[in-house]
Chain A
Amino acid sequence: MIRKRLLRLQERDTRRVFAVVLGGKMIGVLALLGAIKGITWYFEGAAWALPTEPAHTANELINPINTMWVLVTAFLVFFMQAGFMALEAGFARSRETVNILLECVFDTCLCGLLFWAIGFAFMFGEGNGIIGHQYFFLHGIGGGYGSTGVAFMAFFLFQFAFADTASTITSGAMVGRTGFKGDILYSVCVSGFIYPIFGHWVWGPGGWLGNTMGWFHGLTGDAVFRDFAGSTVVHTVGGFVALAGAIALGPRLGRKFKRDGGGPTPPHDLTMASIGAVILWFGWYGFNPGSTLSAMDWTGIGRVAGNTTLAACAGGMIAVLFVYPRSKKWDLGMSLNGFLGGLVAITAPCYWVSPMGAILIGGIAGIVVPLGVDLLEHIRVDDPIGAFPVHGMCGIWGTLAVGLFATGQFGLPTADGADPSVAVKGLFYGGGADQLTAQAIGSLSAIVCVGAVGLIIMFAIKSIRGSWSLRVSRDGELEGIDIHEHGTPAYHVEFGQGMTYSTPAGLSSGGFGSSTQSPVPPVKTPEPA
């Protein structure tokens, strides 16, 4: 028996099987060793260890409290995704609902992993004025980020939620005709490169806009570009990539513009859109007040939250009143976009302005939004949910508003509270035009650079042949993007069970009679023979 088995070793096939098995095992061992080496490399850089000494004194509670504040506001900013989903889906047609929902979900997942791998490194890593290159894959992170006094991962989470917001804004103007593969491609560009790199210019260590003003150093005196929570970094960037996408895509099939005798496609669910918009407003209480990155600046976060609210109120109301004389209708959709515009506008200046300033900033945003909607209609750009007027145009307005309305009373936010030694003072408060010039340079750099890169990327993706193109196939769009790309419509109404008619109370004159007995006896059908 044994001899027989040994003899089989002489067979060519058996020896080949042995060689394959042995080779496979060697490769497996090598892969395992490599993985162990890689994981050790990865983890040895991370300071996961907690301080061994328990924090008892008041001073040692500052960082935990700041971390709590940043985490709570990060959760609020993250929840804005729900708002975007509901707002965009509600403003769009029912046939493109699933597409919008999955784009928001998929972009969030994609953005989280990209921001971990490269985005955070580009944005917040040490580097030069243009780009950071530290913390790739979060390698080498410490217990706390820089001088912020918050846990590193809490800071990362907060910044991821911001990046995700910028990424989702983009999808809003491209609803209904963007192929899903094309969506993945441009989302990688936005969350992995455009947003983090521009963000580094403003918020990153050594970024040229936020620290030195680079080539424009001589033009702005001591003032540098100030964007407290991202009117430019998040909203102008998101809005202009969105505009580039909408231009590259062209309008949805069958969308006719006002000049051509058409009009907007009606929203399919204004209940959902309204709830989504209010969720966004709620999420903004994380977006703006959280950007202090410190709860020690308690007068700051109170001021920011209050200013945020006042700007939203003014924006929502002015937008409605602005549109009423034209259409003689109290316009819900414009009201929603109006207060969102007010929120976008107050995002940059919220730390440095007075309550009255916040109201003026929000109110003017309430006029910018309807004019922006009209402008897009006039230049035949199909933006179904108004992403560009709200985020792009109000982002520019809010950024400039810092240079107009900053009171000079409040300095820079730091981990321990406001630092009043560096004043941020606008034109209307006797600060001269320096701050306004710095704001204009920052805003223009976003418009020019992001706009140009956005157009190049969008047209490049559109020119891809086949299914990875930016625009879904004509057949797919006619079939309905939900069915074509995702295999299901958003709403299945059971046939015959969908709607019932009920008599309004007080109108009915009584029942049809209590008897269910038929007056006619059934006719006997003859038994089959």
Chain B
Amino acid sequence: MPHLITAIIKPFKLEEVKEALRAEGLVGLTVSEVQGYGRQGGKTETFRGSEYKVDFVPKVKIEVVTADDQVDKVVDLIASTARTGKIGDGKVWAFDLSRLMRIRTGELGEDAI
């Protein structure tokens, strides 16, 4: 069964993660700009000498579909590439895809990856 791996990472790590995934031979990647907060609980910026709170910190979400036997490797790869060791590095998770189809051809399951 194919898997969907989703990761929330720091925006400046996107380039490294993309290169690492491509070097690993993964052929597809979807990215989106997202905002959120974790344990850090937002951050502050300043305007005209006063601080204001940014509740949701900008992050990048990446989504990649992999075959069953690659999931652990790819999750580890994303985690090790996106890690800075400082607060706000994000999360990565994976779940099973019960249904996957390549729209152009109608292929199903792992063939559609």
* A331 CB within 8 Å of chain B: yes
Give the number of residues in B that approach A within 8 Å (Cβ atoms): 24
Give the number of residues in A that approach B within 8 Å (Cβ atoms): 34
* A326 CB within 8 Å of chain B: yes
- Nearest CB on A from B95, distance (A): 25
Query: Which B residue sits closest to A523, measured CB to CB?
Result: B106
Q: How many A-B residue pairs have CB under 8 A?
A: 70
Chain A residues, Cβ within 8 Å of B52: 262-266
Chain B residues, Cβ within 8 Å of A265: 52
* A520 CB within 8 Å of chain B: yes
- Contact call B50/A373, Cβ cutoff below 8 A: yes
Residues in B27-63 with C-beta less than 8 Å from chain A: 31, 33, 44-54
> Cα distance A327–B49 when bound, in Å?
6
* B105 CB within 8 Å of chain A: yes
> Cα distance A394–B46 when bound, in Å?
23
- Contact call A263/B49, Cβ cutoff below 8 A: no
Chain B residues, Cβ within 8 Å of A386: 48
* A416 CB within 8 Å of chain B: no
Contact A264 to B48, CB < 8 A, known contacts A509-B23, A522-B105: yes
> Cα distance A377–B54 when bound, in Å?
19
- Nearest CB on B from A96, distance (A): 16
Chain B residues, Cβ within 8 Å of A264: 47-48, 50, 52
Contact A504 to B15, CB < 8 A, known contacts A262-B52, A520-B105: yes
> Cα distance A460–B53 when bound, in Å?
35
- Nearest CB on B from A500, distance (A): 11
* B86 CB within 8 Å of chain A: no
Chain B residues, Cβ within 8 Å of A327: 46, 49, 51
* A329 CB within 8 Å of chain B: yes
Q: Interface digits, A475-511 against B, CB 8 Å rule (1 contact, 0 not)? A: 0000000000000000000000001010110011100
Q: Which residues of B contact A (CB under 8 A)?
A: 14-15, 19, 22-23, 31, 33, 44-54, 102, 104-107, 111
Which 4 pairs show the lowest CB-CB distances between chains A and B?
A: A263-B52, A333-B48, A323-B49, A523-B106
- Given A377-B50, A501-B31, A523-B105: 11 more A-B contacts, CB < 8 Å: A258-B50, A262-B52, A266-B54, A323-B48, A327-B51, A331-B47, A386-B48, A518-B104, A522-B104, A522-B106, A525-B106
Q: Which residues of A contact B (CB under 8 A)?
A: 258, 262-267, 323, 326-327, 329, 331, 333-334, 337, 370, 373-374, 377, 386, 499, 501, 503-504, 507-509, 512, 518, 520-523, 525
**16 CB-based A-B contacts, threshold 8 Å:** A263-B44, A263-B53, A265-B52, A266-B54, A331-B47, A333-B48, A334-B48, A373-B49, A374-B50, A501-B14, A503-B15, A507-B15, A507-B19, A508-B19, A509-B19, A518-B104
